[in-house]
Copies of this chain bind each other. A is one copy, B any other.
Amino acid sequence: MPEAINLIELKQLIQRLRENDRRAAARLITFIENGGPDQAKHIIKEIFPFTGKAYIIGITGPPGAGKSTLVNSLATHLLNQNFKVSIIAVDPTSPFSGGALLGDRIRMKDNFQAKNLFIRSMANRGQLGGLAQTTKDVIQVLDAFGSDYIIVETVGVGQSEIDIFKSAYTTIVISVPGMGDDIQAIKAGIMEITDIFVVNKADLPKADKTVAEIEAMLDLSGRIDINHQQHCVKIIRTEGWRPPVIKTIAFRGENIGELANLIQKHKDHVKKTGILEQKLRIRNRHYVAEILKYILSKNIEKMVFTNPDIEKLIEKILTLDKNFDPYTISEEILKEFLVRYL
């Protein structure tokens, strides 16, 4: 059983969150991770009026592309400009969450900078509402915390990464020279939602070739619809913005300032053109859709495991009769029972 949170404790934690208490932020995130949407609900309702200020950057790329190093360099650059930065490192393949292990990730110049940085790793621990949903809730907490920038770093380019990316205002995809297969992977789904391409480890051979390959892909993709509909999921692509391709050498901070400038340029662009507001609208739709799916899933589980009439229906599957396969039975349940459970 996840630890429950009471309203008085919650209000105190949120007060402390607003006073830049990082332990309060960590605690609230843990509540969300352990308690799922049922617990997150109470937290989000309270902090909601304090959100809407942070700028959210999504960064992804294949293992070995130097994501963490690049994120660290970028964060350091933003800290030097006196911004408050939060990093959420999402690893769907790891079972470990927390902040402790990441404490040494960035070498801080002074305490002032340390106070302006918050790092949290998030793992796939069978989150009750799914990793993308949890990430959305955690972003809200770090927004109310007063972050100027929230960097969401994810491993790989699978569906869960794409779902997480839907929360970002500027999305960055990292590759490294000579990774032909990964370019293929990028093609598969992430191409449409990338705002800036980074070819990291640009001191390796073939960096320029990789840049050229990405540029060629961008030429091929041609005009991009502003509302790209795919599996009923709208993805906003920034009209009037051809994603730049930039070479970096993250481990020695090379071209990180230029990357930060590109982010700023993209930020200005999406604000000026109204695309940011559209992105927010679409993010909110996904947010609501995920919450609704969670509530309904919970009701379905309950129904399927407690209703004796439904039990009788499902029993029929065991007969292996042609008319009682799992799909037909499901359709029958949907028609006969589900409406009453809502």
A contacts, CB < 8 Å to B: 37, 40-41, 44-45, 48-49, 51-52, 92-93, 95, 124-128, 156-159, 162, 185, 188-189, 231-234, 277, 280-281, 284-285, 287-289, 291-293, 295-298, 300-302, 304-305, 314-315, 317-318, 320-322, 325-331, 333-334, 338-339, 342
Contacts and interface: CB of A to CB of B under 8 A. Distances in A.
Given A162-B126, A188-B95, A285 B300 contact: no
B159 A326 contact: no
B326 A44 contact: yes
A320 B232 contact: no
Given A284-B326, A314-B284, A300 B292 contact: yes
Contact of A288 (B95, B189, B287, B314): B314
A335 to B, nearest CB: 8
Contacts of A295: 330-331, 334
Given A45-B327, A126-B162, A287-B326, 4 more contacts: A124-B158, A127-B159, A281-B315, A289-B300
Contacts of A314: 281, 284-285, 288
B298 A296 contact: no
Contacts of A302: 232
8 contacts: A44-B327, A125-B159, A128-B231, A232-B298, A284-B317, A292-B300, A292-B334, A295-B330
Contacts of A317: 284, 287-288
B280 A318 contact: yes
Which residue of A232, A233, A333 has the most chain B CB atoms within 10 A of its CB atom?
A232
Given A234-B305, A305-B232, A325-B48, A288 B188 contact: no
A191 to B, nearest CB: 14
A13 to B, nearest CB: 17
Contacts of A297: 293, 296
A281 B318 contact: yes
A297 B302 CA distance: 17
Contact of A330 (B159, B291, B300): B291
Nearest to A329: B288
Contacts of A127: 159
A287 B285 CA distance: 28
A304 B292 contact: yes
